[in-house]
Structure 1
Amino acid sequence: MDTILGPLYDAVSWIIVQFHSFYSLIFNKDSGAAWGLSIVSLVVLIRICLIPLFVKQIKATRNMQALQPKMKAIQERYKSDRQRQSEEMMKLYKESGTNPLSSCFPILAQSPFFISLYQVLNHIAGGRTVGVMDQALVDSARKAHIFGAPIASKFMDSASKVESLGATLTDVRVVTVIMIVLMSLSQFYTQRQLMTKNVDLTVKTPFMQQQKMLMYVFPIMFAVFGINFPVGVLVYWLTTNVWTLGQQMFVIRRNPTPGSLAFKQRQERLRAKGKLKEDPAEVEARQAAEAARASRQQPKRQTKSKRQGAGAAGTTGTTGHARATAGNGEQTSLEKPEEPGAGKGKQAGGSARGKSGQRKGGPQRPKHPSKK
């Protein structure tokens, strides 16, 4: 391991020494402030160099969110053919220009520096030279304490080892526990902010479930592995989490995912400042919808007795109207003056009615006297 990562040991130790030389002009060269700030500065320098990868990570994450419905459809279509499913997935990634590993690039890029720092601090704890650090610098770093805990000490160290570094086991464990808790909380809040504010809520995808799971898994991982990290490594990782949190807050506020809660909030801010130019058609449609919603009245619920009463009244009114119409029709036909030749028609009509009455068994109408 030392042979493979030797160049990285040299690079990490050289960067720390350069920052230590600068902070020694302000603080005591053997103080925890000088060495602790050197580690923090190492993190800041690495994260600045990783900004291009972070931008790619954001784009890859959004592309993966957009592809989730299509990926789910492919899984359903070829659920019995794993090979065809993989081929279709790779084809989808190629067509969309998405790399599923892009979201892991910043973490993968940090890993060699993280491992190198871990090994450098282990060498310091053992009093051994490493990289460009000579024995004088190693001894100076071993004396440096952060809030009473040596930067090379661990939660699981024995009391005798901690005493050899000029501290007590209680101080080391209190400091490490506080830093592990802060690491876990910062990671949890970072992931929760991503889930609640920067995810398109209109599309429910498996990606959201994965992110929700990571929101709880990462803090547990920090708690488990943190007890085996030196205090200097905890400083490195806590600084990384705080940087990631601030960087994500900036991105969510300035460039949120379309369809997310943060995107709606940004649109409202721009609209309030008059910087958002809306489509007149969209404004008119929204105003019409709001007016229709305001004028809409919900019908009042009636009791059963009222509904039955209304139904009976409607039936009675309809029957009376029909009877009145029939009465008006008879009166009109009786009052209408007879036309020439109408008598024969009436007589024929009367005979027809008489025959009809005989067939139905009804009374026959008497013939007119003049016809005898």
Structure 2
Amino acid sequence: MILAVLLSAIVLIGWTLVSERYFPQAAAPVATTAAPEAAPGVPAAAGSAPAAVATAAPLPAARRAEALGAAPRLAIETPRLRGSVNLRGARFDDLELITYRQSLEPQAPATRLFSPSGAADAYFAQFGWSGPGAPPVNALWAASSTRLTPTTPVTLSWTSPNGLVFEQLLAVDRDFLFTVRQRVRNPTAAAAVVQPWGLVSRLGKGVEENAFNLHVGPLGVLGGTLKDSGLDYDSLREDGNQSFTSKGGWLGMTEKYWLAALVPDQTRDLKANFIAAPNNLYQVDYLGSPLAVPAGGSSETVQRLFAGAKEVELLDQYRDEFGIPRLDRAVSWGWFEVIAQPIFYVLAWLFKFTGNFGLAIIGLTILVRLLLFPIANKQFESMAKMRIVAPRMKALQERYKDDKPRLQQEMMALYKTEKVNPLAGCLPLVVQIPIFYALYKTLLVSTEMRHQPFVLWIKDLSAPDPLTPLNLFGLIPWQPPAIIALGVLPILLGITMWLQQRLNPAPLDPVQKQVFAILPWMFMFIMAPFAAGLQLYWTVNNILTIGQQAYMLRKYPMPATPPEAAAPAAQVAVAPKPPRNRPAANGNKPRPKAK
């Protein structure tokens, strides 16, 4: 069990720490004015959406403000979003999440999701049509209004030379969902056929890296199956582009907390493409099945765009309300989804009562301890009894030190007689491991935990404890490396773990005894880089465990009489020596034995 815990810790943080510190990292790509590919968009593949740069020369790489001023725009104003739609191509290429800041600083700027073509961090979404008379990707659309708000939808229109009228009816809710109703009106005498498409395109991979416990990059749910394996940026570049067919579904690009996802018409077939192009360009797109537009009539299809924070309850709401299959899987829960999601919901429920996620974590710890109380009670009862029989076991080891099979037999007989289960302490630990890892994933990937304060100096439960005595709690202008930046919570974790071990029976094996003596201080350093919320959970759990152990020790106190004296001779006592005749207490000689 010790090896399992240590190996888990090494897997969780070892590779990340080593790779960040000792292996060179690829420099972030910087767009230059000499590179026309600085605008996202890739050459259109067979069955793919038209690429964003297939028919239009991209803007030269420039500052974002210059790129934003290069074309007319439709302003986006909602309680949670701020930005604009580029009327040159009807691109969603300027979007900020105004309820999420980039850092904890009071004046920190809002988190930016989309940037226009030509900016160094270009990233945008776009919808359109393919077919005879369809608008090119750089078409200049006319807007019915200057502002898009939750209460004022806007219609974009473009008329082709052959008379077809293309319209995009844009609407946005109060959170992060855009609805794009694509309509084609055909006033001519000939029928037309077009295909709707959508794309999300970006330059570079962003600031976050894909990892074993976190998926960053293209993903989607197509054909009812989550498509994420082999779809990160590096895999696409190494293994080649991928395509899938589906009826409905969704696809997009994800980061730890943010998501840009295309939601096609759920009633129509489509072909989805995941593409990595030269010059660090990436695109996900779909091409819908042909849509017939009769002469003198019209046809339409409804698409949606999710662009915002991956709030769990909001994703669940959109999934149920609009029938978006498995949209909640955009959150990278990983292997322990079946445990991590319920733990998140419990935390969210507790947060509604406490208003503080730190208190919610403490409440979760208490609930877990209550649920595991019967198992833990058996564990502590067995450990208390182990303390009582420890002297007998030591006597058995001394007596049968040269006869290992006999020693095992006698120890099993002692366990059976005293009703002690030496393995009872393993089950609570085994049950706690998936709960602990699920809480770790919740703190890592849930947007709701980002920048959530606890008390005093802990301003972000999803980040490590920032207060460390190594720089005299911030008085020295030096930030220690993460592995040795022992915050207050990791120190408390190590101390409570040490106190907990003091109440356990000491291991009889000297090697085990040394290992257990080192473990609390080792885990103090191992847990230092982890989220403060995880450190808080473990520390509170240790405190509750100490209380339960203390209660069981009072219930099963050490006997006043040395156990060896009461132990059966066959189990622990050495062979008695022959009695010797001793003078009686009154000084008389002992009587001779009768013949």
- With the length of structure 2 as denominator, give the TM-score of the two structures: 0.32
For the pair shown, the structure with the greater C-alpha radius of gyration is 1
Q: Which has the higher contact order (CA 8 A, sep 6+)?
A: 1
Q: Which structure carries more strand by proportion?
A: 2
Q: Which structure carries more helix by proportion?
A: 1
